[in-house]
Amino acid sequence: MIYSETPITLYWHNPGTGWQLNTMTPYTGWIRAALLNDSKEKVNNDITLLDKYADNIPLNGEVTYQYDDNSATIIFKWKTQNDQPPLMVTLPHQRQALETPTPTDKIKMRGNKGEMLGMVGSAWKMREPFAKVDFLELKDANVLPVKQKQAIIDALKIDAADVNASLNPDAYGVYASGKHFARAARLALIADQFNQTEIKANLVNAIERNLTSWIQDKNKWKLEYDTVWGGIIPAIDDFGSQYYNDHHFHYGYFVYTMAVLAKLDPSWLHQPIQSTGGSVTPLDWTKFLIRDYANPSHEDPYFPYSRHADAFDGHSFASGIPVAFANGRNQESVSEAVNAYYAIALLGKALNDKTIADWGNVLLTQELRAAHIYWQIPNDSDVYVPDFTKDNKMTAIVWDGKTDRHVFFPCLKDKPNALECSYGIEMMPFTAITSQLLQKPWINEFYGDLTKVYNSSLTSNPAWSLQLLKGRVMGAPASARDEIWNEAMKSSSKDTYDDGDSKTNTLYVIATQPLIK
């Protein structure tokens, strides 16, 4: 159906370059098109509804958040040219959280994110229950078997010993450095829980000493403010970060590290440090990073609002400055996006700052919901077409216009489309939020395929196989847990783990999973 503001006469014309639909006389006004029927896609939309709301054209939208102790209410308000409620379409993740109004199946069609259903209303109201945000999976390490506790402590002593070298400010770009800092912070949390006081103190001192170099701009990657696009970019490009790609991935690791320090050594965050731009506290420096990738304010003159998170799509896009990809924006590692917002919520928790905690948690819960619907594919999912879902339990990249099973980057030289990379990049890093990201029922369904890919990865890349090993334990049957533990015990702390990972963390994740409800 084609609707116009005033009557027009249309005709088909082909000037030799393709068919055009032209007006007989010049026309000024609005024109709208709506899909009425599509037998292949089983679409048979209600023409009376289309007719009724054709004049109510949405011009813009506004999203607001209201918080209580355990949830956020997300409100979309739509403005139309005649101030009447528009007929829109909803996405699956929106309908899961929707309170009002009510969608109708009289208008429906399929998109890249599954079936879209029509809904009439000037305001949509959705409720997101907050995720549980903690520093570690367990409150007390004493619930672990003595043998496992000792193995974790033994690994911790080895992993902690080389932290100084791994935190060298000039050795890595922003992404790898952030992961190294987060790795050390996770080790410090585990050391604290296992009463390894000296190891914890050494780790905290090493983190603070090397972070100071970043804050002072004394490393070659130094972070600079870009006045053109309004953001913080490194002096040397890193995975497109000078073009604002992946900022939530990169800076999320730094914010996570600062959240841990806010718990273990809170006074340091408030100590002024002299940098090239003047005196700044570590906490203020951290807040600059948050404003870069997840700014909560529309009024901030220096940073855009919520650079990566798309409130309507319900998840982030890693794409930075717009690039002409045929399929639009994209995001690969949803787990690292989850980590970026978990880090903000964790910082708010450590500071006892509800404003920061609530903002981090609403972004976190939205990203988790989207991960469960658009990246993870349970058996009962109908988001993607059967030809895709029959062979895939997980997506690697969600675009505006397509979904991929393979990662963006060339994964392994001998296996460019290795699924261990597609799976592993959607699981890392493993922290206290991971059990809410990688839900046990889905991993249980996925377990056979995940184990097959894990076995294949053992001969290609230990770092990826160790990510999958931790992912497997999330839904492993009890009979497989000893085998998974033994596989982790055989790994070496040297040269086999990702920059943000460690043997200590692997053993801790595997040991704690059976105790998490």
**pLDDT for 78 beyond 80:** yes
**pLDDT for 138 beyond 70:** yes
pTM, to two decimals? 0.94
Mean of the pLDDT values across residues 409-419? 72
Alpha-carbon distance of 191 to 204, in angstroms, equals 10
pLDDT tier at 391, thresholds 50, 70, 90: confident
Fold classification of 141-515 is Glycosyltransferase (1.50.10)
pLDDT in tens, 491-514: 987 768 899 999 999 999 999 998
**pLDDT for 517 beyond 80:** no
Around Cβ 272, how many Cβ atoms within 10 Å? Answer: 11
Q: Left if phi > 0, otherwise alpha if psi is -120 to 50, otherwise beta: which for 147?
A: alpha
**pLDDT for 277 beyond 90:** no
pLDDT in tens, 235-256: 999 988 999 999 999 999 999 9
pLDDT in tens, 455-493: 988 877 788 899 999 999 998 999 999 999 999 999 987
Q: What is the pLDDT of residue 390?
A: 87
Helix (H) or strand (E) holding 20: strand 20-23
Mean of the pLDDT values across residues 1-22? 94
Closest CA to 257 of 335, 170, 339: 339
**pLDDT for 10 beyond 90:** yes
Segments of the chain assigned to CATH 1.50.10: 141-515
Tell me the sheet residues that pair with 305. Answer: none
Mean of the pLDDT values across residues 269-289? 94
- Determine phi and psi for 16, rounding to 5 degrees: 105, -10
Q: What is the pLDDT of residue 258?
A: 98
Average pLDDT, the chain: 93
Q: How far is CA 7 from CA 22, 32, 60, 86, 476, in A?
A: 14, 13, 26, 22, 64
Secondary structure of 335-364 in HEC code, one letter for each residue: HHHHHHHHHHHHHHHHHCCHHHHHHHHHHH
Q: What is the pLDDT of residue 495?
A: 67
**pLDDT for 129 beyond 80:** yes
Tell me the sheet residues that pair with 41. Answer: none
**pLDDT for 398 beyond 90:** yes
Contacts of 481 (CB under 8 A, 6+ apart): 473, 510, 513, 514
In DSSP notation, 71-129 reads EEEEEEEEEETTSSPPEEEE-HHHHHHEEES--EEEEEEEETTEEEEEEE-SEEEEEEE
Helix (H) or strand (E) holding 67: strand 58-67
Q: Which residue has the higher pLDDT, 362 or 170?
A: 362
pLDDT in tens, 148-199: 999 999 999 999 998 877 887 778 899 999 999 999 999 999 999 999 999 9
Closest CA to 338 of 370, 312, 307, 313: 370
Q: What is the pLDDT of residue 387?
A: 86
Alpha-carbon distance of 248 to 441, in angstroms, equals 28
pLDDT in tens, 299-342: 999 999 999 999 999 999 998 887 778 889 999 999 999 999 99
Contact between 237 and 220 under an 8 Å Cβ cutoff? The reply is no
Alpha-carbon distance of 290 to 232, in angstroms, equals 10
**pLDDT for 414 beyond 70:** no
pLDDT tier at 408, thresholds 50, 70, 90: confident
Q: What is the pLDDT of residue 357?
A: 97
pLDDT tier at 413, thresholds 50, 70, 90: low
pLDDT in tens, 253-271: 999 999 999 999 999 999 9
| CA 1 to chain CA centroid, nearest Å | 38
**pLDDT for 416 beyond 90:** no
**pLDDT for 415 beyond 80:** no
Q: Left if phi > 0, otherwise alpha if psi is -120 to 50, otherwise beta: which for 461?
A: beta
Contact between 120 and 127 under an 8 Å Cβ cutoff? The reply is no
Residues in the chain: 517
Q: What is the pLDDT of residue 213?
A: 92
Mean of the pLDDT values across residues 440-469? 89
Task: Locate 310 and state its tokens.
Answer: 């798309």
